[in-house]
Structure 1
Amino acid sequence: MKKNYLVIVLFAANVAAQQSPGGVSSNLQVWMKADAGLTTSGNNITAWKDQSANAFSPAVVGGPPQAGSFINFNPVVKITGSDVTGGYFRIPTNAPNFSNMNVTAGSAQTEVFATVFSTRTANQYSAIVTKNSGGFWDGITLANYNISGTTTNYRTGYAVSDWLSDGGSTSAQQTIDQTPSKMFLLHGGNTQSGSTNTNRLRVNGNTATTNNSAFFNPNSYDFSIGNNSAGNTQYGFEGLIGDVIYYNRNLTPAETQKVNSYLAIKYGITLAANNQSYTSSNGTDFWTGATGPTATYNNNIFGIARDDAGSIDQRQSQSQNTGIQPIMTNGSGSPVTTNTAASALSNDISSSIIGSDTGSTAYTTPITGPSGIVVNNRTQRIWLVQEKTGTVGNVTISFPISNTNQKVYLVRSSNLDTTFDTTDTWIELTNPTVINGLTYVSATIDFADNDLFTFATFKSSPGGVATGISLWNRADAGISPTTGSITTWTDQALEHVATQQGSNATPSVIAGSKTNLNFNPGVNFTVNTQRIGNISVQTVNSLDYDIFNVTKNGISGVAFFGIARNNTTKDGTNYDSPHFEASGTIAMRDTNGNLDYYSGLPGGAYSASIPTIGYTQVKDTSLSFGRNGAITNQLATYGAKGNITGGYYFGRNADSPLSGDDGGFTGVIGENIVYSRTLTPVERQKVDSYLAIKYGMTLATSAAPMNYLNSASTTNTDNVVWTGVGNTTFYNRVFGIGRDDAGGLDQRISIAADPAAIITLSTDTDFTSQNAPTTTHPAIASDKQFTMMGDNNLSVTAYSTPITIGGKTMNRLPRIWRAQDTGDMGCVNIRMATNVSGNIIPNPGTGSLYAILADDPNFTTNVSLKKITYSATNIDFAINFNANSNNNYFTLAVLPASAVPAPVTGKIVGISTVNDSWQPTTNNTYLELRSQKLGFVISRVTTANRLAMIQQPGLVVYDIEQSKFFVSNGSVWRELGIDNTKSSFCN
């Protein structure tokens, strides 16, 4: 029994010894990891147990620090609040095993690893890991100092010495720009040899910076995480902490790489290119860096791996670099919210690690899919898979989408083949899942070593104009969340992500409605301090560029959109290249900050009654502007402005971190588009057409009407969906519904953006719900189907125009509507409001009210009438307009009561064939009614029975399922009374 018991104890001890960061256990004195040892009350951390053999139990001081945050799906500790109020952790000198941390004076060696993200904005020191005197910071110090007033730039240092002043003279320091990532791996170390003490600091495994300074013995001081050892209130750390690891010896380069690999895989960190191999605890590579293919695909590295001795159990992973990043999950299914919720890898020392090139994640590279797969572009970015150790099997790859109707395909090419074509593996991503506020779709695949993959989709662009687009912000796509205050606004061109800037609140989403952007949502700035933007990207990459912006009527204040000349200058000269103001003023500066133009627009401020489509043409030496499709007016000429390299913002640019001098605005933005080139006139007309149909706008004027084009147009006269040229009479309140997949248009409900508009079109009888991004309106059946409409701008307040139809004199409204069908859309639903102020349609009184429809505005050709019931609010009906024609006219008319004859009573009504030339036996008739006592009976059948009948010309039946009469021409049924060759009422 004793022998068996001894075996068990030794086995357990061996397992415990195997668990260490990267398998490096010798002289491991402190190992704090946020995924183990935490005790919480709610999210308040009450204890955090050390995982080294010393098993320290640090005291929780102040705060307390918080649980509940995650980086790469692993828990991290969050410290918030200024200074000590956020809390920190302390191992006191009287703790059991404390002396194990001591170093030997004269030959002292230390290594400290910490994964952190700093959020302190005060220009003050933040102690991350310390074992120092507190008051004078003598001893071990890993700390940073905010140098930007934002969460962007920190000067970070490590020293085992006296931290003098800012630490610059005694510590090894690096400046960290936190913009590219959500987590950083800090590695400080020192080596003392007699009187020489060398301090070192690495960030994400890069080349160490060094500083020789006098050694100061840390042995007699507390070990603290999140403050200095004395706990001075002004030096508290704020931000996220994942792991903290302390060795009191120097690690070999191979050992250092193992620890770095453990931390990088766990937290989705891309190691520096000069030191990029991800190594397992047994020394084999999970990912061999900077050689062969990894020299190209050495960006955005992440992956799943299992290494029992190295304490790696990463089951789901995503690069923590900013921007759009895929997620990899072990096994088949969907992404999960935490690492432990995914299934564990089956085999020890197994991995699947992914890196990418530097291409954009925007769908900008043309590609052709296999038969049945409709795509036109793939992401510019390509990812490499390395499975160098063990067997992983199926993994799930997930990628974000901007709307749930988007079809995305994972395209896998084997053996480093960079040509993606129809011979590769194509898998549709499905099963939308929301992770951290973004919607991802997923595909399951079993990768092989050196596979490449990318993502393909059918990518739309405004009006089908894709070349040179560099920014496309839509209020109906890319916004998260879709209700309430916005946290991210992803542009649909290059997928730049706009976020909160500083402490200024962000705008919110306002739903689309009849009075808000033609049933499309908008981004609503309710106070002039709100803003959202991205001041880390380059908005334009050309000296010449075009800008479209759509704003709702009624905006007020100052700046609503602007482009920065660069991303480093933080003052009032930086955000005007150009910027646009609600008053109509445009400001334009050159690359040096000199003001080239600052003045209002021709025609004055933006309209108070209808939205505005603004078009600005920026050239290196001139600035021009046109609104709502009208020709551009040159506003200014100036000397060459130079290259503009800055980001962009919506709203206020004053206040940190932008620190400009322009106030914000109040109002609603619908859309904003930037092209890094000058569009041709036809291209501009296509973009204007897309925006005009979407927002119910009439382009130009009735005196100079324009054709509305679809995405296939190559001139201003082909693929016209609304003929404006030569149509001055009916070029008022132009609007419509339509679908143009390549052009980014899916307008299912519409009303003209005009206070006098009274007609709403819809794909169903719901005339109030918004159009996008979530809609209950049925989809338009086919690509490039449109129903467009305009009117003659005459009165609707009296039935004052006589008209004769079928020998009866009626009185119609002077206003006539003209409709143009493209693609044979079929029945469209129409609501005519009768109660619009200044345009109230009167009650017909004792007369009978009819909607009348014809192929001409005089109502003489192919006339149809539908008797309707007057309502003091709305009149609803549906029309199937002539297919692919603009010969469709309708209005309302009243038949006076005096023109309606009395009903016929007491007489036999029938058909007589008294003329000998009309006989049942001749070939000029097929219907005979002969009955003295019995009525004429129509067969009543189901739809299935009707379709199965042997048809004869003139056969009439009643379909009891559809409640309609049908007549056959011998081969095809049509509804009785409906002529499929001309426009007609549907209901």
Structure 2
Amino acid sequence: MQQWNDQSTISNNARQTTGGNKPVFNNTVINGYPALRFSSDQFIDGLAAPGISTTNSWIFFLVFKQNSFTAGAANDGAGSYLMDRTSGTNNLMSLKIVNTDKFMLQKRNDDGSGLGGPISTISAASSQFVIADHYRQFGTAYGLFVNGKSDGTSGDDSGNLTGPTLRIGRHASTANGGLNGDLAEVIMYNNFPTTTQRQQIESYLAIKYGVTLDQSGGGKDYLSSAGATIYPATTSHAVYNNNIAGIGQDDGSALLQASSQSQNNLSVLSVSSPSTLTNGNFLMWGDDSPTITNSTNVPAPYINRLSRVWRAKATGSVGTVTLSFDLTGLGIDLTNTSRFALLTNTSSDMSTATASTATRTILGNVVNFSGITLADGTYFSIATDIIPGPGGVSGPTAWLRADNGAYLNAGVTLATNGQTVQQWNNFQGSASYNVSQATSGNRPTFLTNSVNSNPVIRYSVASSSLDFGAMGVSSSSSLEVFFSIRPTAINTTGSVNDGNGSYFMDRTTATNALFGLKASGTKFGYQKRNDANNGLGGVATTSNINTSTFQLVNMYRNYNVQYGIAYNGSIESTLADADGPMTLPNLKLGNHATTNVGLVGDLPEFILYTRNLTTNERTRINSYLAVKYGVSLSQATATDYLASNLSIIFPSASSYSGFSTDVAGLGRDDVSSLLQLNSQSVNTGSMVNLQIASLASDLSFLIWGSNNGSVTVPNTVDVQSPVLRRLGRVWRVSNVNSVGPVTVNIDLSTVPGAKLQADLRLIVDADGVFNAGTTALTGTLAGNIFTVTNVTLANGNYFTIGSVSLSTPLPVQLTRLTLA
């Protein structure tokens, strides 16, 4: 693009005649509109000064997206510049990135004095459009607004500052010192608008580009060019202040928006095809939650809906519209079309909603409803099939599973055993939460059959990592992370208060904000720090890091309430949270941001939620991970194992409390995408492995745990002929949904003495008293592994190993000792 013409009456056009410095015009970049693509060294220059006199107030509005940026300092010319001057003049009214990831209005007077300016507290987003205003209110302040929120001011020294000829997209003289991303619109006023006028301008830009105005700190209404409230985000629609978007016509703003969708990840809803659209008419909407889960608040015969409820705001009438729900990334099965309906109501209670299906069409992952009239104030949602999620807890922001989506390259070829992993794809949700590693020498390795028949991502050297891109998470968001992890070696020199020791998760660059998992001495430590560089510290487990087996670690922040960390499902440490905003930095899995003190070991699964979870939800996720990876949940607080439908599948907190050691299980849970056909506890000496060819029914489980009885002192009393002795260790089975015959493998290597196949029996009993009513089954012995096939284990059954011969030491029992 060579010239960008000014749409105001001033006609101050901008131009670039050098081919290599020309930005590229791209169609349909954001909400149906084009943008100019800059690659750090592209820029366009005003053909004249902007007409800002020495004592003018002024304000600029820029709508842009940064794919990446570099940070300079407040008093230098380094870092990414969004706007500067065309030559090295004293006078500055520039917009740049400083302090790692903050916006700065860099100003300097005509005489070279007063270098400085306000810096934002909100972090600059990458890969998402933002509305950034920077201004001078002469004699009062310089300041910044980000997405409509005041975010940094500094006093005005009343110095003379004449507007220089402006350069859009790069620093005046520094090559590659500019925007790497897209620029959609630039607006300048050589006066300072009133609060209402600024709100009108920001509303126009927000509607046009699908940018949700910042609703923190009391919220912000959307206004038309006439000053009318077209979305009352501070009053009647205050609960519905997420993913705000709208269609409408506003001749005073030259706005004709016939289709729209919020640019936010998983905003889901787009609205298009209004049958009537005239000046002053708008249809706006917002929803009640940035996350999406399942809800059973539905009218019959529907079974589920998205937990998110939208509310419409109509100004005038746009007639009928088409509502399109893009369910991509939610993992919903769309084959049963009867489960999908548009739900509308005059209240947010969807159990009494009207269900509409007459105009429903499904194309790919998009469910469309055409010819829909949304009256002012209408509440609506969509009935769907169930959204899968670990433990049935839907809506993870990131769910990384080694058994799905580990790629040798950039998402084309799945890695096979022993190959390095360049990209690990998000199993459910937005692809923007894939993780990757561009440097081949820093890539971890994919290994199959490494934990309970499941694969792992192995970090062999402390420099290995897989990195997230922009997280796009609110600074006031609650956070919750789950790891299945086995560090095989750790550096124990650090704590949650420093940068030493092994890091299992950190940020990709050295931001103020910290949300990390590390070795705090010999414990797992959750390291935290807020946006203002305060509150360094955190919480640590009381359990030691186990370097020989897998464990489950769960760390959370319940915003402004509590920090916590759990080990194998039991919360071991908490801390009150009064730290305030913490913008989730781009996360690095497996290493520290700047020093190679990373994970050496295995990471088969990582789950991130950007909301606070209930105790029940945590238990369901931990149960899913425990069954999958053979990890026994801690019973420091008695805890049952739960399926995705909330049912108890192993009652370790009640009737099975004496059998909560070395718990493992077979299971199928479709909502959790779990199919475990071969399982054994990862605990050393766990002994029992069970296998089954298939599980035909969803929500089928066969889970067992032991009484941790002796394997060296035999029981010769509680036995039934022909069995003469048995192990003191007994296992008990929970069979859910009639799981059929299995193969039982018992590792007898920890049982002293020789074993004879002919003497060994698998003993199964219904009540745990083995002197009557038992079934004794023969099997085969290969080395120390005793195998019995086609074994039916009913719910509540007990089993152990016995011998039919006193001459077979199972185990050795000393009956006589003669000394000569």
Pick the TM interval, shorter chain: 0.5 to 0.7
Aligned to 1:185: 131
Is 1:421 matched up with 2:357?
no
The partner residue of 2:602 within 643, 658, 668 is: 668
Aligned to 2:72: 122
C-alpha contact (below 8 Å) 2:568/2:622 kept by paired residues: yes
Of 670-679 and 524-533, the range deviating more from structure 2: 670-679
C-alpha contact (below 8 Å) 1:114/1:241 kept by paired residues: no
SS at match of 1:694: helix
After TM superposition, give the deviation of residue 737 of structure 1 in Å. Answer: 1.6
In 2, Cα distance between equivalents of 1:548 and 1:65? 42
Distance 1:20 1:383, change over 3 A: farther
Cα deviation, 1:374-428, whole Å, max 9, x if unaligned, reads: 349824x65434364433521202256554469997774444x233323344779
Is 1:692 matched up with 2:641?
no
Aligned to 1:303: 246
Specify the code of the residue in structure 2 equivalent to 1:264: A
Aligned to 2:104: 155
Distance 1:451 1:297, change over 3 A: same
Aligned to 2:740: 827
Distance 1:216 1:717, change over 3 A: closer
C-alpha contact (below 8 Å) 1:556/1:667 kept by paired residues: no
Distance 1:477 1:373, change over 3 A: farther
The partner residue of 1:143 within 86, 91, 94 is: 94
In 1, Cα distance between equivalents of 2:515 and 2:233? 41
Aligned to 1:944: none
Aligned to 2:369: 444
C-alpha contact (below 8 Å) 1:397/1:442 kept by paired residues: yes
Specify the code of the residue in structure 1 equivalent to 2:739: G
Is 1:527 matched up with 2:449?
no
Distance 1:628 1:267, change over 3 A: closer
Cα deviation, 1:8-39, whole Å, max 9, x if unaligned, reads: xxxxxxxxxxx999xx6533443xxxxxxxxx
SS at match of 2:523: coil
Cα deviation, 1:597-631, whole Å, max 9, x if unaligned, reads: 98x956xx5333321246899999x999996589x
Structure index of larger Rg: 1
The partner residue of 1:609 within 548, 561, 570 is: 548
C-alpha contact (below 8 Å) 1:853/1:888 kept by paired residues: yes
Specify the code of the residue in structure 1 equivalent to 2:352: T
Identical pairs, percent: 15
The partner residue of 1:556 within 481, 484, 490 is: 490
C-alpha contact (below 8 Å) 2:437/2:467 kept by paired residues: no
Specify the code of the residue in structure 2 equivalent to 1:143: S
Aligned to 2:120: 175
C-alpha contact (below 8 Å) 2:624/2:672 kept by paired residues: yes
Aligned to 2:704: 788
SS at match of 1:527: coil
Cα deviation, 1:659-704, whole Å, max 9, x if unaligned, reads: xx99433333445799999999x99988865553332134679xx9
C-alpha contact (below 8 Å) 1:722/1:820 kept by paired residues: no
The partner residue of 1:395 within 317, 323, 331 is: 323
Aligned to 1:353: 284
After TM superposition, give the deviation of residue 451 of structure 1 in Å. Answer: 2.0
C-alpha contact (below 8 Å) 1:786/1:822 kept by paired residues: yes
SS at match of 2:697: coil
Distance 1:588 1:475, change over 3 A: closer
Distance 1:507 1:262, change over 3 A: farther
In 1, Cα distance between equivalents of 2:622 and 2:137? 67
SS at match of 2:307: strand
Cα deviation, 1:195-250, whole Å, max 9, x if unaligned, reads: x99999765567898966546476xx6x643235xx41268322333234467988
In 1, Cα distance between equivalents of 2:319 and 2:546? 64
Aligned to 1:95: none
SS at match of 1:144: strand
Specify the code of the residue in structure 2 equivalent to 1:667: G
In 2, Cα distance between equivalents of 1:576 and 1:105? 46
In 2, Cα distance between equivalents of 1:752 and 1:790? 10
The 5-angstrom pairing of residues 584-663 of structure 1 reads 584=523, 586=525, 605-613=544-552, 643=578, 645=580, 655=593, 663=597
After TM superposition, give the deviation of residue 514 of structure 1 in Å. Answer: 3.4
- The CA RMSD over aligned residues, in Å, is 7.0
Of 57-66 and 233-242, the range deviating more from structure 2: 57-66
The partner residue of 1:516 within 424, 448, 451 is: 451
With the length of structure 1 as denominator, give the TM-score of the two structures.
0.55
C-alpha contact (below 8 Å) 2:642/2:649 kept by paired residues: no
SS at match of 2:350: coil
C-alpha contact (below 8 Å) 2:523/2:542 kept by paired residues: yes
Aligned to 1:959: none
Aligned to 1:926: none
In 2, Cα distance between equivalents of 1:616 and 1:627? 9
C-alpha contact (below 8 Å) 1:612/1:628 kept by paired residues: yes
After TM superposition, give the deviation of residue 753 of structure 1 in Å. Answer: 1.6
After TM superposition, give the deviation of residue 134 of structure 1 in Å. Answer: 0.8
After TM superposition, give the deviation of residue 537 of structure 1 in Å. Answer: 4.2
In 2, Cα distance between equivalents of 1:549 and 1:411? 37
Matched residues, number: 741
C-alpha contact (below 8 Å) 1:713/1:719 kept by paired residues: no
Aligned to 1:961: none
Cα deviation, 1:56-80, whole Å, max 9, x if unaligned, reads: 6744444876969944465543434
In 1, Cα distance between equivalents of 2:761 and 2:292? 53
Specify the code of the residue in structure 1 equivalent to 2:105: T
In 1, Cα distance between equivalents of 2:227 and 2:790? 71
In 2, Cα distance between equivalents of 1:626 and 1:852? 37
In 2, Cα distance between equivalents of 1:248 and 1:442? 43
Cα deviation, 1:76-103, whole Å, max 9, x if unaligned, reads: 434345xxxx232346xxxxxx68x885
Is 1:881 matched up with 2:820?
no
C-alpha contact (below 8 Å) 2:249/2:282 kept by paired residues: yes
Cα deviation, 1:789-844, whole Å, max 9, x if unaligned, reads: 66999999xxxxxx999xxx999998999562423423255375999999999998
The 5-angstrom pairing of residues 893-912 of structure 1 reads none
In 2, Cα distance between equivalents of 1:713 and 1:271? 37
Is 1:88 matched up with 2:43?
yes
Is 1:233 matched up with 2:182?
no
Q: Give unmatched runs, 5+ long, in structure 2.
A: 412-420, 500-505, 713-718, 806-820
In 1, Cα distance between equivalents of 2:366 and 2:300? 22
In 2, Cα distance between equivalents of 1:420 and 1:162? 62
Specify the code of the residue in structure 2 equivalent to 1:886: N
Specify the code of the residue in structure 2 equivalent to 1:453: F
In 1, Cα distance between equivalents of 2:618 and 2:146? 48
After TM superposition, give the deviation of residue 781 of structure 1 in Å. Answer: 1.7
Aligned to 2:38: 79
In 2, Cα distance between equivalents of 1:717 and 1:873? 28
Cα deviation, 1:450-484, whole Å, max 9, x if unaligned, reads: 322356786899879x9xx9999754499988875
After TM superposition, give the deviation of residue 136 of structure 1 in Å. Answer: 0.7
Of 546-555 and 809-818, the range deviating more from structure 2: 809-818
Cα deviation, 1:853-883, whole Å, max 9, x if unaligned, reads: 776897985859799999999989544433x
Cα deviation, 1:552-605, whole Å, max 9, x if unaligned, reads: 26253469997999x99x99998699964483365899998697998x956xx5
C-alpha contact (below 8 Å) 2:765/2:797 kept by paired residues: no
C-alpha contact (below 8 Å) 2:680/2:689 kept by paired residues: yes
Specify the code of the residue in structure 1 equivalent to 2:246: G
After TM superposition, give the deviation of residue 886 of structure 1 in Å. Answer: 0.9
Aligned to 2:818: none
Specify the code of the residue in structure 2 equivalent to 1:823: V
Distance 1:804 1:869, change over 3 A: same
Specify the code of the residue in structure 2 equivalent to 1:783: L
Distance 1:623 1:747, change over 3 A: same
